[in-house]
Amino acid sequence: MNTFYFDTGVRGYPTTKGQVYRNGVKQIPFDANAPANALLMFLCDNPNLPESEQPGVIVREVVNTTMISKYAYFRV
Distances (CA, A) of 55 to 21, 25, 51, 52, 60: 32, 31, 9, 8, 15
Average pLDDT, the chain: 93
Owning domain of residue 39: 2-75
Does pTM surpass 0.85?
Answer: yes
Counting the structural domains of the chain, the total is: 1
pLDDT at 13: 77
pLDDT at 15: 76
pLDDT at 61: 97
Q: What is the pLDDT of residues 28-62, one digit of tens each?
A: 999 999 999 999 999 999 999 999 999 999 999 99
